Amino acid sequence: MPDEIFAHPRLAAIYDAFDGPRDDLETYLGIAEELNARQVLDVGCGTGSLAILLAGTGRTVVGVDPAAASLDVARSKKGAERVTWLHGDATSAPALGADLAVMTGNVAQVFLTDDDWSATLRGISAALRPHGFFVFETRRPEYRAWEKWATDRSAPVTVDVPGIGDVEEHFEITDVSLPLVSFRCTYRFHADGTVLTSDSTLRFRDRDEVESALTASGFRVRDVRDAPDRPGREFVFVTERAA
């Protein structure tokens, strides 16, 4: 089940406002161009920011996400009509023969068990053409990002969300049992006093673990890059499906 921040209609509607500028998405536009990818599958597309950017370049884009509320937000955006939106996950994606599949943000880390991660990789492989590409990012465990989150996000933040008004976010780490890190975001809507919470857990896999899972699922790792917007903090895997 997707986290409430993605699945609850009121929280999905404020997600982009709190997520801030998505400087990381330019990296994926560049990679799509580098790989000459004309048909792209955005796995865990959320509110559709990357999918719409990719479609705006003339590519054929399918965005898939298990959170219906996030897809509703995506469909409301300018340019959304150029994207095919699917409610589901990678395991339910059709055999598209896509040139490229992408996962941005924390998507690769929401699969907490080996079985779920392997099923996702198999689903992505089935959606790609032979020798199609799969590119995604995942946080480096050694950077210990959760420690920085606990410091940098200790004070509540209030954002004036267009059409909604002031919303206050409070962030807290609730558990660190590596490789799993859990946290809670609490939101208070000033307009009516409503308080909503969203609990999340991410799995931090090291490079060897990720590469082993990819190999077992029929992917060849072509490159492992640094994330240009977060150097030293993330791996960006560029992989190719076997024939």
Mean pLDDT, residues 32-46: 97
Does 143-202 match 4-141+205-241 at the fold level?
no
143-202 folds as N-terminal domain of TfIIb (2.20.25)
pLDDT band at 73 (very low <50, low <70, confident <90, very high): very high
pLDDT tens-place string over residues 89-121: 999 999 999 999 999 999 999 999 999 999 999
Supply the pLDDT for residue 228: 84
Residue 184 CA from chain centroid, whole number: 18
Supply the pLDDT for residue 20: 78
The helix/strand/coil state of 225 is strand
Computed over every residue of the chain, the mean pLDDT equals 96
Q: Are strands 234-241 and 128-139 parallel, antiparallel or unpaired?
A: antiparallel
Mean pLDDT, residues 22-30: 89
Instruction: Delimit the domains of the chain by residue range.
Output: 4-141+205-241, 143-202
Q: How far apart are the first and last CA of the chain?
A: 32
Residue 40 · residue 133 · CB < 8 Å? no
Rounded CA-CA distance 166/159 in Å is: 5
pLDDT tens-place string over residues 127-140: 999 999 999 999 99
Question: Global pTM?
Answer: 0.95
CATH class of segment(s) 4-141+205-241: alpha beta
Instruction: State yes or no: pLDDT of 146 exceeds 90.
Output: yes
Mean pLDDT, residues 29-47: 97
